[in-house]
Amino acid sequence: MKAWIERERLDGEVVDCLTVILPTRGCGWDKCYMCSYTLDSDRNATQETVYRAFEKAAGKKQVEVLKIFTSGSFFDEGEVERETREKIYRRAVELGFRKLVVESRPEFLTEAVVEEISQADIEIEIGIGLETSNDFYREHLINKGFSFEEYRNAVERVGSVARIKTYLLLKPPLLTEKEAMEDMKKSIEDVKPYTDVVSLNLMTIHSGTYVEKLWREGVYRPPWLWSAVEILKWADLDILCDPVAGGKRRGPHNCFKCDSSVVDEIRRFSLTGDKGVFETDCECKEKWKLALEAEDLIEKPLFP
């Protein structure tokens, strides 16, 4: 079980947040081309071990926000049973947390979960990994296994009792940088009526994934940080971005000289929502612009 403290925005304030990775049995889908989260799971986990791990981590430090990630779906009975979830809500309230952040695939956000959340005494935010509003990309380039309509239906069910955070993924494989940026802009417009906040996730290369194979063969490059900055500056809704592995070869990167200051600005923007933080300039920006144009000349007979 991993746990750490980070900073997070809550009701316009910047507060401390305890993030806990609970070792459940892991994602029951486990087929997305970029994901290796099940490496953090424990195939032999029982409800007892899951709750004990939660207790141990949650008691560490009293802060405002508690994030529980399970390397899958918090509302999947195969990972965390309802009884365990209800124990977690009660304990989180006792420990003084004001908000609980969890993640789930849409198929687990049922009417029963709506009832469960409405009885919990704590504000709950649910992160849903939609990745893109484009069903073709989500099915063929990500292998996510659900449709935009399923996402919309789930959000319409739980949106009245929970805050919704929608994860969008910048640059699935086989898209050019420009196509990936256009996909994010279109997706942001499409999710705007359904989500309270968007988390722009920048592709990183996880070990043992299909995306890693493409990257090793030299046919995939993680997104430029400049692309993320442009999308964040363009978006007119509540949006955050945590550039995991930013400035590393396996993560979103520019030229490796300006990366740490751009990553820092993206983090500051995510905490404050202030677009004025983006000040860094670098000669590699011209190269990025050139890449956008050059890649655009490639014909793409594969896509409709």
Query: Could you say whether residue 165 binds ligand SF4 (CB under 6 A)?
Result: no
Residue nearer to Zn ion on the CB measure, 75 or 226: 226
25 with 55: CB under 8 angstroms?
A: no
Contact 121, 156 (CB under 8 A): no
Dist CA 66 CA 208 (whole Å): 30
- Residue 278 found at the interface with ligand SF4 (CB under 6 A): no
The residue among 210 and 288 lying less far from ligand SF4, judged by its C-beta, is: 210
Q: Is 35 in the site for ligand SF4 (CB under 6 A)?
A: yes
The SS3 assignment for 31 reads coil
- Decide: is 130 part of the binding site for Zn ion (CB under 5 A): no
Dihedral, CA atoms, 57, 63, 65, 70, nearest 10 degrees?
-10
282 binds, among Zn ion, ligand SF4, none (CB under 5 to 8 A by kind): Zn ion
Q: Which residues pair with 186 in a beta bridge?
A: none
Taking the least distance from each CB to ligand SF4, the nearer of 74 and 226 is: 74
Per-residue tokens: 203: 């592709």
- Residue 98 near residue 10, CB atoms below 8 Å: yes
Q: Which helix or strand (DSSP H or E) is residue 299 part of?
A: none
State the first-to-last Cα distance of the chain, in angstroms, to the nearest integer. Answer: 44
Residue 37 interacts with ligand SF4 (CB under 6 A)? yes
Query: Applying CB under 5 A, which of residues 58, 258, 263, 266 lies at the interface with Zn ion?
Result: 258
CA distance 288 to 43: 43
Instruction: Decide if residue 72 touches ligand SF4 (CB under 6 A).
Output: yes
* Nearest CB to ligand SF4, comparing residues 38 and 280: 38
Per rule CB under 6 A, is residue 173 in the interface with ligand SF4?
A: no
Q: Given the complex with ligand SF4, which of 129 and 252 has the nearer CB atom? A: 129
* Stretch of 31-39, 51-59, 107-115, 294-302 lying at the interface with ligand SF4 (CB under 6 A): 31-39
Residue numbers at the binding site for ligand SF4 (CB under 6 A)? 27, 29-32, 35, 37, 72, 105, 129
